Amino acid sequence: MKIAVDAMGGDFAPRAIVEGVLLAASELPSDAQIVLIGREDSIREIFKEHNFESSVVEVVHAEEVIEMGEHPTKALSQKPNSSIGVGFKLLKEKAIDIFCSAGNTGAMHVGALFSIKAIEGILRPAIAGYVPQLDGSIAIMLDIGANADCKPEVLAQFGEIGSLYAQYTFQIERPRVALMNIGEEEQKGSLVAQATYPHLKANKRIHFIGNIEGKDLFTNKADVIVTDGFTGNILFKLGESLYEITKQRGIQDDFIDKTNYESIGGSPIIGVNGNVMIAHGISSPTAIKNMIGWAYKQVQANAYLHIAQALA
């Protein structure tokens, strides 16, 4: 298995990324290899500082870098030899099994759509956030930012692709799918939420448990939380902020530690023909290390193949 990581993406790249990879390298299962994509000399310099020499990490040179603020589509067409451009080229050729980056999120999203493309039948691929639950399990919430405005049909499909992702990646036999809403009753919510409910309810391929509310985000009510990328992003970022708030106040707690973005490190793009994971721009070495751990599980599950099969 080849897990490719964009060495140049993120606020602290390449150092934080390469150091995260070195942390991951020592813990990686024997069937996995990491492919670092980026400026080879910069990467090897950090290897050298750490006296790192191992065949577990391969380096693929990419001359250019897409910066955080660049326009995704423009940057991708003008910089085919950027680390993101090269990553998606390798992913499309199946030379790697997953491509991960803490770089320009828009470029990652557009890059996936242009290279490996959306799975046939998918209305809109989504970025799914892992949401730690109080019982130690993990739920996914989608979308958390790729699609700020969603039609009911799109939200309903998030329920189905999220369910398949959770089933195969987390080995949950019958994931509980819920719609994030402002009340438990079917007729509650925005016009879009009201129109989404019957779609989810009618879909016999998922186990729809109805609406959940903001207070249920962490309370193991659902395995798959359906929401648009506007509400989802705001909720997800509030959830992640708990760790900073409590840390500043001297509180240490195992559950709250898990809400720290570092403890998961990455968010998959679901609905495309391959494995893609994006990470926070601020990613630290620990975050990158943990993302690689999840990337390994995502490749083992290859949920995208099951999604393609279900929609065929």
Write out the residues near a copy of itself by the rule CB under 8 A.
134, 145, 148-149, 180-182, 189-191, 193, 213-219, 228-231, 233-242, 244-246, 248-249, 251, 253, 255
Joined together, the tokens standing for residue 260 give 């720290």
* CB 270, min distance to a copy of itself, A: 18
CB of 78 to a copy of itself, least distance (A): 21
Angle between helices 152-169 and 191-202 (to 10 degrees): 50
Closest CA to 276 of 136, 116, 137: 116
Residue 172 CB, nearest distance to a copy of itself (Å)?
22
In whole angstroms, the minimum distance from the beta carbon of 182 to a copy of itself comes to 4
Q: What burial letters (b/e) apply to 79-116, b meaning 16+ CB within 10 Å? A: beebbbbbbbbbbbeeebbbbbbbbbbbbbbbbbbebb
**Closer residue to a copy of itself, CB minimum distance, 204 or 249:** 249
Q: Distance between CA atoms of 203 and 155, rounded to whole angstroms?
A: 12
Q: d(Cα 64, Cα 81) in Å, to the nearest integer?
A: 6
**Tokens at 31, concatenated:** 């069937």
CB of 26 to a copy of itself, least distance (A): 32
Please state the closest distance from residue 193 (CB atom) to a copy of itself, in A: 7
Nearer to a copy of itself, 121 or 183 (CB): 183
Query: Residue 64's beta-bridge partner residues?
Result: 82
We find the least distance from the C-beta atom of residue 311 to a copy of itself, in angstroms, to be 27
Phi-psi category of 117—alpha, beta or left, where left has phi over 0 and alpha has psi -120 to 50? left
- CB nearer a copy of itself, residue 145 or residue 274: 145
Identity of the residue, 94 or 247, whose beta carbon is nearer to a copy of itself in the bound complex: 247
**Non-local CB neighbours of 3 within 8 Å, separated by 6+ positions:** 32, 33, 34, 35, 96, 97, 98, 100, 292, 295, 296, 299
Closer by beta carbon to a copy of itself, 24 or else 131: 131
Contact 283, 10 (CB under 8 A): yes
In sequence order, which residues have a C-beta less than 8 Å from that of residue 278 and are 6 or more positions away? 100, 101, 102, 105, 108, 109, 127, 266, 267, 269
- Comparing CB distances to a copy of itself, the nearer of 133 and 169 is 133
CB of 228 to a copy of itself, least distance (A): 8
Toward a copy of itself, which CB reaches closer, 33 or 211? 211
Pick the closer one to a copy of itself by CB: 182 or 202.
182
